[in-house]
Amino acid sequence: IKGVSFHNVKAKAIKSATALLADRFDSRIPDTFEGLVSLPGVGPKMAIIVLNVAFGKVVGISIDTHLHRMLNQLQWVAPTKTPEKTRAAIEAWLPRKHWHEMNLIWVGFGQEIQTEKGKLLQKALNCSKPKQAVELLGKLGMDVQKQAAISGITLTV
C-alpha cells in the first residue's frame, strides 16, 4: 500500500483490523454496517461500499468528500457541512431503489472529475453533448473560460 496516501497510518489500521477480525469475527469480514465501522480505518463510506459489493446489501449511499462537495455545488441537497450529513440529505429524497446505481455512477464520475482540468475540459468538448458537459463543469466550480485560456483550448460551444 506504499503507493497510497497516508500509507503508514493505513498499514497500522490494517494490522489492527486483522487482529480484531481474528478475535471478534472468527477471521471473517462482518456483513453488517455496525460490524464494519467497528474496524479501525473503516468509515461509513467504505462500509456501505463493502456491504454493497461483497454482500449485495444496499444500506446507503457512499459519500466521500468529493461527492459531498459536488452534490452541494449541484444543489442536490440543501447546504451540508459533512459527507455524513450529505448522505442523510440525499437518502431522504432519493428512492432506495436508486441507491445502488448512485454508488456505481457517482464513484466513476468522481474519478473522472478529478482528472487534470485541461484534459477534463477537452473530454467535455469531445463528448456527445459538449454544451451540457461544459455547463456541468461550470456548476462544479470550474472557471471554464479561464481553464480554456490556460490550456490553449478554443471554446466552440
Choice among 45, 117, 139, 146 that is catalytic = 45
Among 145, 128, 127, 142, CA closest to 74? 142
Would you call 45 a catalytic residue per the annotation? yes
C-alpha cell at 80: 451540508
- Please state the length of the chain: 157
For 52, other C-beta atoms within 10 Å of its C-beta total 19
d(CA 123, CA 131): 12
The residues, any chain, with a CB within 8 Å of residue 118's CB and separated by 6 or more, are 147, 150, 151, 153
The residues annotated with a catalytic role in the active site are 45
